[in-house]
């Protein structure tokens, strides 16, 4: 009987000791550190602002710091309707409204740009000369090439210089190009040439209003020589000149020389700015 009484006392004592812990587990105390700090939404107001002169998204980037930053506050631009929707405390909305009045104004007019000088045309004159050692051929060329031929006589070992043909083309000063094809005969019929001149890139090297120097890019000249014999046409070879040039207005330039059997083909080029 004594043993049974002692057990009851022990059980009762344990129940008393454990009961506060159980009660605490059933009713946990709130942890202040886990609570989220947010404002009562009933304190917010909303307003839609019509934007007349500026881009709403650009204005929002400037106005964003004027909002409260509290949870639930918004500032939403709409480019289609040209509006900014704001939901925030009344005092923040008032500040944003004043800022929009100052910022949403017409942009100042841009100063008028001076008219760009009109681009002139470019005239390209190409002379095709045939050099040979035939003493009977002589020197038949226009007076404009007299000075060039004198220089060629001192540098090339040929006795005669004759003009096969001249090519005259016009194009734009900027991003211009020319292409010319044809067939020409020597005055004495000793040679004919089927030629092609291509200059795909003609651009200014000096800006307006100077117009004094021109770049000729990827110039390509090809010619196939032939002559007529009894009842047949005989080929005498092909030539090719390919180069890039920088020329001044009115300057005569010997672009290149190429062999054609016992003769030579010389390309002389002049450019003029047609203002």
Domain assignment present for residue 114? The answer is no
Q: Are residues 55 and 130 both part of a single domain?
A: no
Q: Are residues 89 and 225 both part of a single domain?
A: no
Distance CA 177, CA 220 (A): 12
Q: Tell me what the mean pLDDT of segment 188-201 comes to.
A: 91
Q: Mean pLDDT: which of 31-40, 122-131, 182-191 is highest? A: 122-131
- Residue 143: pLDDT band (50, 70, 90) is confident
Distance CA 163, CA 266 (A): 9
Q: Are residues 132 and 96 both part of a single domain?
A: no
**Closest of 236, 227, 256, 242 to residue 156, by C-alpha:** 256
Q: Which two tokens stand for residue 233?
A: 């046409």
Whether the pLDDT of residue 4 is over 50: the answer is no
Q: Are residues 69 and 161 both part of a single domain?
A: no
pLDDT, one tens digit per residue, over 83-106 is: 999 999 999 999 999 999 999 999
pTM of the model: 0.57
Q: 73 and 44 in contact (C-beta within 8 Å)?
A: yes
Lowest mean pLDDT of 129-143, 173-187, 198-212, name the range.
129-143
pLDDT, one tens digit per residue, over 59-89 is: 999 999 999 999 889 999 999 999 999 999 9
Domain assignment present for residue 7? The answer is no
- Residue 22: pLDDT band (50, 70, 90) is very low
Structural domain range at position 48? 42-103
CA atoms within 13 A on the CB side of 117: 11
- Residue 33: pLDDT band (50, 70, 90) is very low
Q: Are residues 162 and 263 both part of a single domain?
A: yes
Domain assignment present for residue 19? The answer is no
CATH number at residue 61: 3.30.1370.120
Domain assignment present for residue 15? The answer is no
Q: 224 and 153 in contact (C-beta within 8 Å)?
A: no
What's the confidence (pLDDT) of residue 23?
Answer: 42
Domain assignment present for residue 31? The answer is no
Q: Are residues 172 and 58 both part of a single domain?
A: no
What's the confidence (pLDDT) of residue 16?
Answer: 46
Domain assignment present for residue 199? The answer is yes
Q: 191 and 236 in contact (C-beta within 8 Å)?
A: yes
Number of domains in the chain: 2
Q: Are residues 144 and 222 both part of a single domain?
A: yes
Domain assignment present for residue 109? The answer is no
- Give the residue with greater pLDDT, 40 vs 160: 160
Distance CA 261, CA 172 (A): 37
Domain assignment present for residue 36? The answer is no
Q: Are residues 245 and 169 both part of a single domain?
A: yes
């Amino acid at each position: 009987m004594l043993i049974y009484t002692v057990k009851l006392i022990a059980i009762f004592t344990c129940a008393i000791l454990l009961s506060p812990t159980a009660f605490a587990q059933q009713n946990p105390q709130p942890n202040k550190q886990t609570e989220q700090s947010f404002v009562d939404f009933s304190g917010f107001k909303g307003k839609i602002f019509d934007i007349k002169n500026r881009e709403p998204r650009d204005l929002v980037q400037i106005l964003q710091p004027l909002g409260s930053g509290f949870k639930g506050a918004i500032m939403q631009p709409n480019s289609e309707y040209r509006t900014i929707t704001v939901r925030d405390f009344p005092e923040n909305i008032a500040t944003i409204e004043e800022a929009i009045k100052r910022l949403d104004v017409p942009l100042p007019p841009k100063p008028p740009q001076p008219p760009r000088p009109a681009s002139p045309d470019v005239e390209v004159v190409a002379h095709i000369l045939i050099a040979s050692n035939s003493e009977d051929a002589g020197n038949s060329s226009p007076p404009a090439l007299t000075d060039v031929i004198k220089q060629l006589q001192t540098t090339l070992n040929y006795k005669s210089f004759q003009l096969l043909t001249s090519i005259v083309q016009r194009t734009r000063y900027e991003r211009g190009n020319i292409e010319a094809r044809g067939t020409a005969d020597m005055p004495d019929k000793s040679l004919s040439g089927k030629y092609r001149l291509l200059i795909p890139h003609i651009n200014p090297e000096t800006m307006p209003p100077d117009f004094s120097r021109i770049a000729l890019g990827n110039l390509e000249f090809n010619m196939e020589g032939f002559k007529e014999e009894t009842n047949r046409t005989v080929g005498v070879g092909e030539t090719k000149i390919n180069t890039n040039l920088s020329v001044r207005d009115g300057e005569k330039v010997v672009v290149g020389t190429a062999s054609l059997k016992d003769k030579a083909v010389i390309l002389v080029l002049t450019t003029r700015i047609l203002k």
